[in-house]
Structure 1
Amino acid sequence: MKQTLRMVSLALALAPTLALAEVESTDPIKLTLHDWTGQLITTNIMAAVLEEAGYNVELVQADYLAQFAGLKTGDLDVAMEIWATTGQEAMDKAIAEGGVVSFGETGMLAKEEWWYPLYMKEKCPGLPDWKALNDCAALFATPDTAPKGRYLGGPVTWGGFDEERIAALGLNFEVIHAGTDAAMFAELEAAYQRQDPILLWVYAPHWSQQKYQGEWVEFPTYEAACYTDPAWGSNPAATHDCGKPFGPIWKVGWAGLADKWPGAAKAVQAFTIDNTAMSAMIAKVDLDGVALEDVVDEWMTANEATWKPWIGQ
């Protein structure tokens, strides 16, 4: 893997600086779109930057984890957000098998974990310790899950191993997957307004932690062996008896990108943004109702000094 990344970095370092519209191929560079607002913003910013350089860009809806098959073959070219919290394993496997390379970190740090509104701590005083959850499972139960508590997970395509964790830690909970990112946070809004019990998947960067007071559940600290070695952790018969990993959000792509579009590959590698800026843009779309295209246009106008060097301008 390290050798592959070094080769990509060398190819990008040697890539010529492109003047506007001097592109190596007019074939479309296919960037993948997923089902959460931040990823749509990140990808549309990257698309706008590449278009400013004269590239032909195509945005393609793709499954978050299944997209690696297309990236390996070159049917897809760039995925702008692979979260260490949920996508690291699939990313590492794809890179090791060949055809996929990392273009580095986005600059954002990912956190995805079980979360509850702060008012639930009064009703379940053992929180945030995960061991308190079984004592309070009935508080989180719904008619569909009783007597088990209900955990509102992200869309099933996001992965995350929540079912495996519940089994490994013996939690008296059932995962109910939200159909969409928007539906998940709409349910949080409704519960929060009524002060109803809710336990759900919350992630950062996102606006939810600014709007709602709450805490993440504290599970045993993640180590790589937790996901692969049953001997690790409190349950010697199961893996995933720990919290989710925290870490970077990565950019990945087809290994042939740097050869076919060296200037574009250099721009993808140069792309960077932080959690604060991204959270603010997500809030504009999700909370203020601003069109995603307008948010991207606003960022492009305000940050020319940032993105123009990515494409040698």
Structure 2
Amino acid sequence: MLLRNSTLVAAIGAFALATAVSLGAARAQDSSDPIKLTLHDWTGQLITTHIMGEVLKKAGNNVDYVQADYLAQFAGLETGDLDVAMEMWETTGREAMDAGIATGKVENFGPTGMKAKEEWWYPLYMKEKCPGLPNWEALKDPACAEAFSTAETAPKGRYLGGAVTWGGFDEERVELLGLPFEVIHAGTDAALFAELESAYQRQAPIMLWIYAPHWSQVKYKGEWVEFPEYTKECYEDPSWGVNPDMAYDCGKPFGEIWKVGWVGVKDKWPHAYEAIKAFHVDNDEMGQMIAKVDLEGQAIDAVVAEWMGANEARWSEWIKK
């Protein structure tokens, strides 16, 4: 009996070892080469990307973070010099994403779970100086435009856009809708919101690019300008819309924030690929994390580490496959 039990124990041990080796081999299908995740110039994207990177590290993958231009990054994604971009916004990046996917070298890895909104925004205290708002046609009134002017743009209104790399067609929109505004670009995400903070404290005029998910709509009371509603034809067919000669005479699109990457990711890192597709956070969750960084001064690494600790059961599911 003892011999038979010993034989059984040995057999079970051998089976367990074989199973472990088999599972290890399955996990080893992922290349040991680092997965290159792109970093851009706004807080939320840095958080999203570092969360994904930390999850992939937990799965045994190697990760590199690479600074890249939001739109120009598609050249690297097409060649495989870059692997994954965790935030491509429907509002500003759809054209670049579609063009990349059309090459057959870029893949849409699915939605992040966050919904994008980006548009011209003003504090509510400015509404009494331009009472026709939020209708965009109120901005055509020279008196309204002048209410939003600064010394550098007067008598034209000043619109503070995001970094040039974000795209958005704001210069085209101003021209095509006949708005007496001048577009001035903030150099960085931090500079954009520093100007908002300063203007809000002084009750000074400001019209600027605001996006969601973000903490700004919670901290500051204001409204988005209501432009002619976006349609695909507005961006592709010049005859569509207010201006019959050129495209982009409408507001920005709303919609998903996508994950995209090099089409070879699924073959080179099949397990990481499944984890990237499974990644999901929502606007409220991301807005709270952005606030911790931008308002409370916490480090991105600390915020990401806190999220990882609080959501282990969740991200563990992402890397199970």
Category of TM-score, reference length = shorter chain = over 0.9
Query: How far has the Cα of 1:97 moved from its partner?
Result: 1.4
> Structure 1 stretches (4+) deviating beyond 6 angstroms?
16-21
Q: Does 1:36 align with 2:42?
A: yes
**Equivalent residue for 1:99?**
105
**Equivalent residue for 2:187?**
179
- Tell me the amino acid that sits aligned with residue 244 of structure 1: K
- Tell me the amino acid that sits aligned with residue 284 of structure 1: K
Q: Does 1:271 align with 2:279?
A: yes
Q: C-alpha root-mean-square deviation of aligned residues, in Å? A: 1.5
Please identify the structure whose Cα radius of gyration is greater.
2
CA distance in 1, matches of 2:211, 2:158: 18
Query: How far has the Cα of 1:231 moved from its partner?
Result: 1.2
CA distance in 1, matches of 2:24, 2:296: 37
Secondary structure at 2:242's aligned position in 1?
Answer: coil
**Equivalent residue for 2:157?**
149
- Tell me the amino acid that sits aligned with residue 86 of structure 1: T
**Equivalent residue for 1:207?**
215
Contact 2:119 2:224 in 1 (8 A): yes
Identify if the C-alpha distance between structure 1 residues 18 and 105 changes in structure 2 by more than 3 Å, giving closer, same or farther.
farther
CA distance in 2, matches of 1:17, 1:278: 34
Q: 1:260 aligns with which of 264, 268, 284?
A: 268
Query: How far has the Cα of 1:17 moved from its partner?
Result: 7.9
Secondary structure at 1:49's aligned position in 2?
Answer: helix
CA distance in 2, matches of 1:24, 1:85: 33
Q: Does 1:309 align with 2:307?
A: no
**Equivalent residue for 2:299?**
291
Q: Percent identity?
A: 71
Secondary structure at 1:278's aligned position in 2?
Answer: helix
Q: Does 1:168 align with 2:181?
A: no
Secondary structure at 1:55's aligned position in 2?
Answer: coil
CA distance in 2, matches of 1:213, 1:198: 13
State the TM-score, normalized to the length of structure 2.
Answer: 0.91
User: Which runs of 5 or more residues in structure 1 are unaligned?
Assistant: 1-15
CA distance in 2, matches of 1:42, 1:17: 29
Q: Does 1:242 align with 2:250?
A: yes
- Tell me the amino acid that sits aligned with residue 158 of structure 1: W
**Deviation digits for residues 184-231 of structure 1, max 9, x if unmatched?**
000000000010010000000000000000000000000000011111
Query: How far has the Cα of 1:237 moved from its partner?
Result: 1.2
Query: How far has the Cα of 1:21 moved from its partner?
Result: 6.7
CA distance in 1, matches of 2:273, 2:23: 11
Contact 1:285 1:291 in 2 (8 A): yes
CA distance in 2, matches of 1:70, 1:202: 28
**Equivalent residue for 1:82?**
88
CA distance in 1, matches of 2:95, 2:208: 23
Aligned residues: 298
- Tell me the amino acid that sits aligned with residue 144 of structure 1: E
Query: How far has the Cα of 1:134 moved from its partner?
Result: 2.2
Secondary structure at 1:248's aligned position in 2?
Answer: strand
**Equivalent residue for 2:13?**
none
Matches within 5 A, 1:128-143: 128-135=134-141, 136-143=144-151
Query: How far has the Cα of 1:297 moved from its partner?
Result: 0.3
CA distance in 2, matches of 1:17, 1:137: 65
- Tell me the amino acid that sits aligned with residue 253 of structure 1: G
Q: 1:158 aligns with which of 153, 162, 166?
A: 166
Contact 2:29 2:270 in 1 (8 A): no
Query: How far has the Cα of 1:22 moved from its partner?
Result: 3.7
Contact 1:23 1:55 in 2 (8 A): no
Identify if the C-alpha distance between structure 1 residues 92 and 43 changes in structure 2 by more than 3 Å, giving closer, same or farther.
same
Q: Does 1:224 align with 2:219?
A: no
CA distance in 1, matches of 2:279, 2:23: 16
**Equivalent residue for 1:7?**
none
Query: How far has the Cα of 1:148 moved from its partner?
Result: 1.2
Query: How far has the Cα of 1:25 moved from its partner?
Result: 1.2
Q: 1:56 aligns with which of 41, 51, 62?
A: 62
Q: 2:117 aligns with which of 95, 111, 114?
A: 111
- Tell me the amino acid that sits aligned with residue 187 of structure 1: E
Contact 1:33 1:43 in 2 (8 A): yes
Identify if the C-alpha distance between structure 1 residues 166 and 83 changes in structure 2 by more than 3 Å, giving closer, same or farther.
same
Q: 1:121 aligns with which of 116, 123, 127?
A: 127
